[in-house]
Structure 1
Amino acid sequence: MMSRRALQLTAAVGLLAVLGTPAGAGTRDIARDTLPANDGWAAYGSGTTGGAAADDAHVYTVTDRAGLVRALDGGSDTPKIIKIAGTVDANTDDDGDRLDCADYATGGYSLKKYLAAYDPRTWGSAKPSGPQEEARQASAARQAERVVLPVGSNTTIVGLGSKAVLKGAGLEVNNADNVIIRNLELRDAYDCFPVWQPNSGGLGDWKTAYDTLWLRGATHVWIDHVTASDKGHPDEEEPTYFGRNYLRHDGLLDITNGSDLITVSWSRFADHDKAMLIGNSDSATGDRGKLRVTLHHNEFESVVQRAPRVRFGQVHLYNNRYVVPEDAHDHRYSIGVSTESGIRAENNAFHVPGHIEAADLVKSWNGTALHTSGNVFNGYPVDLLTIHNAYNSGSERDLTADVGWVPTLHTKIDSAATADREVARGAGAGRIP
């Protein structure tokens, strides 16, 4: 009989034979692509080239977690190109066998015991402590060791073909520069061990650990034709404990801790609560002058909030498509205007059901300014700024249109109607022309 590793290698060879050239790419090797000139904030200065300078010894094709970990090399800065073929599952052991939450649990942890220990009716509002919280932390650390994957500087990660998937992982670009992530589906960064926070939001809430992609202190990053979602374990199907939904997912893409010069293009963010956070704290004044981000030609579908929510950053939000489904009952807002943010929202298209008003698309917390122009609401022109001020002046301060800057780095800005059609056809993994 063939060994497990031999079977995996045989399967990989067959898979690569089927995949061949990436879909729609002709004879071009998209793994060597660099960010075009002027394509958003990531084109500023030296631009973004990722691993384009990698020599042949640092070009990898990976089909499992073990291969991906070896290629990432602990987040080293060596120029490298990593091509993902098929589905790579982060919740697997070194032999490729699937791991579930029970495999990570240690120290006597069980959800039943945890719920009994920290029930607010008996525990009160103090932060969880003691044996079950210690066991939860130890169990969470075991999962994090498997699923948190560091991405270093000068790296390109690209999916091969139209069905490349990284499942269950939390990709972290931490204090790294010059990174490209393209043509890849990022799916279900599932936290087995959420923590109960009694004082969160007044009623308490469950806090999860992993973003599918987290940029922390990262610079010159291009994210393109990526699809990110909770596919596999939607939070809405999770039970309710202590009167709150037992969340298993954090953000789809968070850009925090002084990250800067980021372009996110032609990507799809779907079926999620808190999609994208730019700036993680009102008190992080070191973020001033950073968090410069361009978001263009992306689709936000079935997203409850944070598409995006912004603190401090100069964010250019143009030619994006927003889709709120007819049965949406929990939509909160799309564009979040927070402390010292400077958002320019231009020529975006919003599709929403009849029970959602245009005023529901913008929410502000300590924000002072929002520039909007050329946006459409269910096919009709809409002035998001005027509507926000008219409907929310009783509870939120009026926003001015002067955000203090004018974008100079961007691709052609189409009408909202044109962009709407193009994004519907072309955003997401497997759709690079």
Structure 2
Amino acid sequence: MHLGRLALAGCATALATVALLPPPATAAGTAHGAGAGRGSGSDPARAVLPARDGWGAAEGGVTGGSEARRGHDITVSTRAELADALARTGDEPTIIRIDGTIDANTDDAGNPLGCDDYATDGYSLDAYLAAYDPATWGRDDPSGPLEEARAASAALQKERVVLPVGSNTTIIGADDDARLLGATLDVRGADNVIVRNLTFEDSFDCFPQWDPTDGEFGEWNSEYDSLVLYGSTHVWVDHNTFTDGRRPDAEQPRYFGRLFQQHDGQLDIVRGADLVTASWNVFTEHDKTILIGNSDGASADDRGRLRATFHHNLFHNVTERAPRVRYGQVDVYSNHFRQDEGAAYGYSFGIGIESALVAEYNAFTLPDGLGAADTVHRWTPGTSMTARGNWVNHRPADLVAAHNAANPDAPLGDDAGWRPELRRQVTHPVAVPFVVDHWAGAGRLR
């Protein structure tokens, strides 16, 4: 394959150029720099998703609030200001600029709220643990006053931390250190939304629910994704950083022998959401990272939808779901998957019911003991994925063949049944670690 080249301005290292693979013949277009957007001028808040830049660019593209008029270009620096700005948008094009750190777990006066402030109806973790210890409660679902108190307490926290986002909206960091702490941006039933240049940190659940029937030993299940797209269309997620930050799972206690999991996903695309491009983001220090389709039984909502593109993202020390896919045609190319020694790792690509994942030209940097066979997990028999041009630890690797060799009783097909056409810039996997690690994430808009 012929390789073009993109000069890296100011790069004095031996990697003076970045190899670019040409887009498919049906996807002609000029290669642009990291996350450039048409119409951005000098103000990235007015950028729109470039043409042919992934599934988000299909069927009309993503313009967000780029045409916001006076009065709908709002800068906020507190949770109360952010909630008010989101509530006032309607369908009018609106830009919301996040200035500094906004902590969702605060009251309207800006005072911090802890888990004890949400606890109600006699809930306490100690009492909950005593009531539902499997040694005495058994394997039935929790029920009764303490489970009801947990649910009521969780509802109080949800009122504070879940922030609904409407159509025709751009939410962007006003500067390089803009941060949403403990928040969920809930893009539900909306169209035409842009989220850029934000650090999402520690969207945590004070009140995880014990489920003794989840798996062989039971699990603690939590709410609150950092960003959830629920039944929404035309969304561009660009140059953000998603992290557990101050509350890493590795430092959480274990109850009933299982991790007290206070985090859910970092980015979930569910219930008929469609036409999404996620570019130049960093997903780091997390377990259940990206879920596309949240139920095998949601075919009525999801079949023919859940079309998403992920390119030039860094997945650093994430345990699983990068992404896990049901139903959707999902294009994952030119991403860097990097695991440090000792970081928990289950898999990167999860292949679920009727998924159609195409994974090409990605780079994996894995520690000793992990290889190509570990990157894929097949959840549903009879499923397939297309995997071409991927490299693992600086060598070409056939991910499907490696998976099948290691799992002869659970083979995976090698053809997802479609070919992506909406790609502007495909970086050779040799160059992906350099390019992505230097340009992805919040604070790196150029």
TM range (shorter): over 0.9
Helix, strand or coil at the partner of 1:56: coil
Instruction: State the 1:27 CA deviation.
Output: 7.0
Per the TM alignment, residue 357 of structure 1 is displaced from its structure 2 partner at its CA by 2.3
> Is the counterpart of residue 402 in structure 1 residue 415 in structure 2?
yes
In the alignment, the residues of structure 2 paired with residue 327 and residue 232 of structure 1 have an alpha-carbon distance, to the nearest angstrom, of 19
SS in 2 for 1:343: strand
The partner residue of 2:268 within 254, 257, 260 is: 254
Aligned to 1:162: 176
Partner of 1:16: none
Mapped pair 1:296 → 2:311: yes
Match of 2:332 in 1: 317
Give me the whole-angstrom Cα distance separating, in 2, the residues matched to 1:76 and 1:377.
46
In structure 1, C-alpha distance between the alignment counterparts of 2:414 and 2:372, rounded to whole Å:
17
Q: How big is each residue's C-alpha offset from its partner over 1:365-395, in whole Å with a ceiling of 9 and x where there is no partner?
A: 115111111111111111111111111112x
Q: How does 1:58-69 map to 2 (within 5 A)?
A: 58-69=72-83
TM-score of the superposed pair, with normalisation by structure 1: 0.92
- Structure 2 matches for 1:210-249, cutoff 5 A? 210-249=224-263
Select which of 292, 317, 321 maps to 1:306. 321
Distance 1:383 1:192 in 2: 42
* CA distance, structure 2, for counterparts of residue 73 and residue 152 of structure 1: 8
CA displacement at 1:75 relative to structure 2 = 6.9
Q: Which has the higher helix share?
A: 1
Candidates 284, 288, 297, aligned match of 1:274:
288
| 1:82 corresponding residue in structure 2 | 96
Q: Does 1:387 align with 2:425?
A: no
Report whether the alignment pairs 1:28 with 2:42: yes
CA contact (8 A) 1:224 1:267 kept: yes
Q: 1:146 maps to which residue?
A: 160
Aligned residues between the structures: 407
Whole-angstrom CA distance in 2 between matches of 1:375 and 1:214: 28
Preserved contact between residue 281 and residue 440 of structure 2 (Cα < 8 Å): yes
d(CA) in 1 for partners of 2:267, 2:427: 25
2-structure distance, mates of 1:392, 1:183: 40
Structure-2 residue corresponding to 1:200: 214
Conservation of the 8 A alpha-carbon contact between 1:74 and 1:151: no
Aligned-CA RMSD value = 1.4
Question: How far did residue 65 of structure 1 move?
Answer: 0.3
- 8 Å CA contact 1:319–1:420 kept in 2: the answer is no
Following superposition, the deviation at residue 128 of structure 1 comes to: 0.8
C-alpha contact (below 8 Å) 2:55/2:275 kept by paired residues: yes
- Asked whether the 8 Å contact 2:171–2:196 carries over to 1, the reply is yes
Q: Per the alignment, in what secondary structure is the counterpart of residue 96 of structure 1?
A: coil
Q: Please say if residues 196 and 204 of structure 1, whose CA atoms lie closer than 8 Å, have aligned partners that are also in contact.
A: yes
TM-superposition CA deviations, 1:43-91 (whole Å, max 9, x none):
0011100011221111100001011001101773222100001000000
Write the deviation string for residues 84-125 of structure 1: whole angstroms up to 9, x where unpaired: 010000000000011111111111110000001111111111
The structure 1 residue matched to 2:84, chosen from 58, 70, 75, is: 70
1:56 and 2:70 are equivalent in the alignment: yes
1:372 aligned partner, one-letter code: A
1:411 and 2:429 equivalent? no
Which secondary structure does the structure 2 equivalent of 1:424 belong to? helix
Instruction: After the TM superposition, list the runs of 4 or more consecutive aligned residues in structure 1 that deviate by more than 4 angstroms.
Output: 24-27
Maintained 8 Å contact 1:75/1:150? no
Aligned residue in 2 for 1:125: 139
Distance 2:400 2:144 in 1: 49
Question: Is the 2:371–2:392 Cα contact (8 Å) retained in structure 1?
Answer: no
Could you tell me how far apart the structure 2 residues matched to 1:65 and 1:246 are? 27
Q: Report the counterpart of residue 28 of structure 2 in structure 1.
A: none
Cα distance in 2 between the residues matched to 1:281 and 1:161:
37
Once residues 154 and 416 of structure 2 are traced to their aligned partners in structure 1, the CA distance between those partners, rounded to angstroms, is 41
Q: Name the SS of the counterpart of 1:409 in structure 2.
A: coil
Cα deviation, residue 225, structure 1: 0.2
Query: Which of 193, 209, 213 is matched with 1:179 structurally?
Result: 193
